[in-house]
Amino acid sequence: MTKKSAEILAPAGSIEQLVTAVNNGCDSVYLGLDAFNARMKAPNFTLENIGEWIDFCHLFGVKVYVAINTSLKNNEFEIACNMLKEVYRRNADGVILTDTALIYMASRLPKPFEIVASTQLNVHDRFGAEFVKELGATTVVCARECSMNDIRDIASTGIKTECFIHGATCVCQSGQCLFSSLVGGNSGNRGLCAQPCRKKYVANNGATGYLLSARDLCGMDIAENLSQSGASVFKIEGRNRRAEYAGATSRIYKKLFENAFEYDTADMEMLEEMYNRSNGKLSYLNGDNADIVETKTQNHIGVAVGYVKGKGFVANRPVAKGDGLKVLHDGREVCGGVANESGSGFIRADFSSKVQNGMEVRRTTSIELCNEINSARRTLTVDLAFYAYPDKKATLKARHGDVQVEYTSDFIVQSATNKPTSTAEIVEQLQKTGNSHHTISDIDMDLGDIFLAKSQINAMRRGALQLLDEEIIKQYNGRLNRSFVFDDALKPKFQETTQRKYGVSVVCRTEEQLQKASSVNGYAVYKPSLINSESLAIAQKHVAFVDIPSFADGEYLAELLSNIPVGIVCHNVGHVQLARKSGVPYIAGSGLNLYNDKIVQCFSDAVSFVYSLELTLSEIAKFRNQSGLIYADGELTLMKLVHCPYKLIYACDCENCKANVQLKYTDEQGNEFFIKRRRDKRCTFELVNGKKLSVCSKLNFAGNYLVDFDEKVIAHYTALNNKTIDGYTETKPFTKGRLYDKVN
């Protein structure tokens, strides 16, 4: 096997995590500041300290990407632009962005500067890659649910391709999750996901467990295929995890690529000890996704070390006092624990709950392994040349690679009156780099008959190495050429105010509903369960827009549209690109999560757009563009699923498909969620809230509304636009969504 070029991109959610990742061999890190990053619960960095840590990384040739990757409200956009300017000034190598308008703004900055389109943009085919490339992105992060073929398709566009290789995954399609925000107000799109997907659920056939909790990804067995598919940046997820996790994963994946994808059992066990949520290679990368969910456990389960016996456990491998433990029974978590002594055989332990003999004991924290990872030091190999003659200042040259500096002493060298200072004595002091990040490789020397105190030699060593570090950083940052003087290039310019339209647009699921909705004065949207030539023909007949599943097959759709050109509702940037290339009109749908006026301008060729479902009515009222659609009544899709829930719950296969059976999940509080299938060339599913969205009892002003088909609801909003109060109220259980309650 041949060695593949790869960039190992490590998480840096804290200073400790950054340092540990760098010391263990990563090629780059990604981090966030104290605003606008998708991991707001991590310690993160600030504009005050980020320059220092960028310099630290650059000393070792490690790149730094700053994530500004949350949805931005109108009053936040200019602040985010200023943050972008500041990280550019502070010599960040690039930024990771979600907002398409911010991508365009960033692309106007002089290069070299990497503009990375976030996985939140749901790029899973060449159409999405082309969109972000034309917008100005230099790199795209593939949607997590991409198959190898999808990644190959993206890389074929010529854009630099990044994919996840290790860490947490989600059952929801990238960038399409509203679960946390709509049910609890904490938006994952704004870095505050409360992870309702990690809770326990019960299916209506009695199946129970963590039915929406995805396994972690472990890419050890698929790294070569990912590389051959065209990916060149390999991202380790985990900014909220401990520092040792970033160090261990950086070390193992760097080693994997350097060793031509060969690894041993110890490498895999190190990954599992650091964090193991039933780690798997996840077969969706090969076009399947049946095994993504792990129903029995939701958190780190470590590695097996023995079984419970009495007031401790029998260890079948050495453990250390203080090691963290977890007890499982039949694969399900019972409790945690800690080892009270070191060794193997019988080990006394404290468990946090009652346990029984024979239960499995797993280690979730290894004191020895954590110490090993934390003690790693990345060093610079330095050659020295020392010159000292009587009655002159001494000089010490230090060289690392192509960078060389010369340090001159602040003292005059004395002649030796008795025994001169020997070469060996000077070498001994110059090699004392202690716990620093320098390794002295070679020392040349030219000496007269001199005397030097040890303190003088040590001071010169410290001075020369500090000067060398400064020069390495200076040369790295100099290549970035950040002498650009900011003018108005990044000052957001908003379009003129566009007045609100008054109309009622309707989402229909059958042809009969389309026929009944033909008299509305808005748009007709057709959302069939199956996207094929027949459903497109129905939409064309009724002059309706076809709602496209967000993970639909772009090539399949392109062929359909070439034969039956019909308007489409787009829920990701790839399908916008598809509409543009196919020459069909489109509506920018809710999946695009249109949060501000600037991002709306990126889709100015759309016939209409849907305001983000995470915005309140008061926030929508502050848009300069008031022509968008407000989704006011109907089903709330919380997640768009990348796995088949029917295979999970019924253990069926495609030949014995159970999707005609109504599938419902219920959480521990009694809230109900329904599974609905959508098909094009492949199946995808939507997790729909058990309570519909409705604000008819509270909303009392005319507007441009989008509603699901319901004749009474359509009549109500039509009357409202005609300034008539009809007294209609919703009788079914409902929620107001976020229309009156801000998300965090």
484 falls in which pLDDT band (50, 70, 90)? confident
Is residue 11 within 8 A of residue 30, CB to CB? The reply is: yes
Q: What is the mean pLDDT of residues 51-73?
A: 97
Task: Domain count for the chain, please give it.
Answer: 4
Do 24 and 78 lie in one domain? The reply is yes
282 falls in which pLDDT band (50, 70, 90)? low
Domain membership of residue 665 (yes or no) is no
Domain membership of residue 724 (yes or no) is yes
Do 370 and 445 lie in one domain? The reply is no
Domain membership of residue 198 (yes or no) is no
**Cis ω before 112 (30° cut-off from 0):** yes
The DSSP 8-state label assigned to residue 411 in this structure reads: E
Is residue 347 within 8 A of residue 341, CB to CB? The reply is: yes
Domain membership of residue 261 (yes or no) is yes
Domain membership of residue 204 (yes or no) is no
CATH number at residue 537: 3.20.20.70
Do 271 and 336 lie in one domain? The reply is no
Report the candidate in 76, 257, 78, 85 with the shortest Cα–Cα distance to residue 166: 257
Render pLDDT for 119-175 as a digit per residue (tens, 0 to 9): 999 999 999 999 999 999 999 999 998 989 999 999 999 999 999 999 998 999 999
Q: What is the mean pLDDT of residues 345-360?
A: 97
pLDDT value at residue 489: 65
Render pLDDT for 599-630 as a digit per residue (tens, 0 to 9): 999 999 999 999 999 999 999 999 999 999 99
Distance between CA atoms of 184 and 154, rounded to whole angstroms?
Answer: 35
Distance between CA atoms of 302 and 276, rounded to whole angstroms?
Answer: 5
Do 590 and 730 lie in one domain? The reply is yes
pLDDT value at residue 2: 39
**Least confident segment among 148-152, 339-343, 401-405, 633-637:** 148-152
The residues, ordered by sequence, that sit 6+ positions from 595 with a Cβ below 8 Å of its Cβ are 71, 72, 73, 74, 99, 612, 614, 615
Give every strand in the sheet of 201-203, ordered side by side.
208-209, 201-203, 663-667, 672-679, 683-689, 637-641
pLDDT value at residue 360: 98
Q: Mean pLDDT for the chain?
A: 94
CATH number at residue 81: 3.20.20.60
Query: Position 616: which residue type?
Result: T
pLDDT value at residue 106: 95
Do 428 and 511 lie in one domain? The reply is no
Alpha helices by DSSP H, listed for 307-376, are 367-375
Distance between CA atoms of 276 and 274, rounded to whole angstroms?
Answer: 7
Total count of residues recorded for the chain: 744
Report residue 406 as tokens. 């010369």
Distance between CA atoms of 527 and 644, rounded to whole angstroms?
Answer: 20
Query: Count of alpha carbons within 13 Å of 425, Cβ hemisphere only?
Result: 13
Report residue 629 as tokens. 């659609």
Among 375, 396, 420, the domain-final residue is: 375
Report residue 456 as tokens. 């003088």
The residues, ordered by sequence, that sit 6+ positions from 357 with a Cβ below 8 Å of its Cβ are 307, 308, 309, 310
Strands 545-547 and 568-570: parallel
* Percentage of residues of the chain with pLDDT beyond 70: 98
Domain membership of residue 582 (yes or no) is yes
pLDDT value at residue 289: 72
Buried b (16+ CB within 10 A) or exposed e, 219-230: bbebbbbbbebb
Do 341 and 393 lie in one domain? The reply is no
Distance between CA atoms of 529 and 684, rounded to whole angstroms?
Answer: 10
Do 137 and 52 lie in one domain? The reply is yes
496 falls in which pLDDT band (50, 70, 90)? confident
Is the predicted pLDDT of residue 730 greater than 60, yes or no? Answer: yes
- Residue 245's domain comprises 7-169+215-282
Distance between CA atoms of 586 and 602, rounded to whole angstroms?
Answer: 13
Tell me how far CA of residue 130 lies from CA of 98, 155, 157, in angstroms: 16, 10, 7
Is the predicted pLDDT of residue 645 greater than 90, yes or no? Answer: yes
Is the predicted pLDDT of residue 490 greater than 90, yes or no? Answer: no
Distance between CA atoms of 436 and 455, rounded to whole angstroms?
Answer: 18
Render pLDDT for 422-434 as a digit per residue (tens, 0 to 9): 999 999 999 999 8
Render pLDDT for 236-273 as a digit per residue (tens, 0 to 9): 999 999 999 999 999 999 999 999 999 999 999 999 99
Q: What is the mean pLDDT of residues 702-714?
A: 97
Tell me how far CA of residue 712 lies from CA of 699, 707, 708, 725, 737, in angstroms: 15, 11, 11, 13, 20
Is residue 122 within 8 A of residue 550, CB to CB? The reply is: yes
Tell me how far CA of residue 476 lies from CA of 17, 93, 107, 472, 730, in angstroms: 23, 10, 21, 6, 63
Do 17 and 69 lie in one domain? The reply is yes
Render pLDDT for 383-397 as a digit per residue (tens, 0 to 9): 999 999 999 999 999
Do 729 and 592 lie in one domain? The reply is yes
Report residue 91 as tokens. 């010599």
Task: Measure the CA dihedral 547/551/555/560, to 10°.
Answer: -20
Is residue 508 within 8 A of residue 524, CB to CB? The reply is: yes
Tell me the three state secondary structure of residue 365: strand
pLDDT value at residue 288: 65
Do 449 and 593 lie in one domain? The reply is no
H helix or E strand, kind and range, residue 18? helix 15-23
Among 447, 480, 513, the domain-final residue is: 480
Do 389 and 370 lie in one domain? The reply is no
Buried b (16+ CB within 10 A) or exposed e, 152-175: bbbbebebbbbbbbbbbbbbbbbb
Is the predicted pLDDT of residue 554 greater than 70, yes or no? Answer: yes
Is residue 613 within 8 A of residue 71, CB to CB? The reply is: no
pLDDT value at residue 435: 80
Report residue 567 as tokens. 């308007």
Render pLDDT for 649-659 as a digit per residue (tens, 0 to 9): 999 988 999 99
Domain membership of residue 199 (yes or no) is no
Distance between CA atoms of 695 and 627, rounded to whole angstroms?
Answer: 20
Tell me the three state secondary structure of residue 9: strand
Backbone angles phi, psi at 548, to 5 degrees: -95, 130
Report residue 215 as tokens. 């396994």
- Measured at the alpha carbon of residue 312, what is the angle toward residues 310 and 315, in degrees to the nearest 5? 115
Render pLDDT for 567-596 as a digit per residue (tens, 0 to 9): 999 999 999 999 999 999 999 999 999 999
Is the predicted pLDDT of residue 335 greater than 80, yes or no? Answer: yes
- For 97: left if phi > 0, alpha if psi spans -120 to 50, otherwise beta; the answer is beta
Render pLDDT for 521-553 as a digit per residue (tens, 0 to 9): 999 999 999 999 999 999 999 999 999 999 999
Domain membership of residue 101 (yes or no) is yes
Tell me the three state secondary structure of residue 371: helix
287 falls in which pLDDT band (50, 70, 90)? low
Do 470 and 618 lie in one domain? The reply is no
436 falls in which pLDDT band (50, 70, 90)? confident
Is the predicted pLDDT of residue 40 greater than 90, yes or no? Answer: no
pLDDT value at residue 1: 35
Among 331, 359, 375, the domain-final residue is: 375
Distance between CA atoms of 344 and 133, rounded to whole angstroms?
Answer: 56
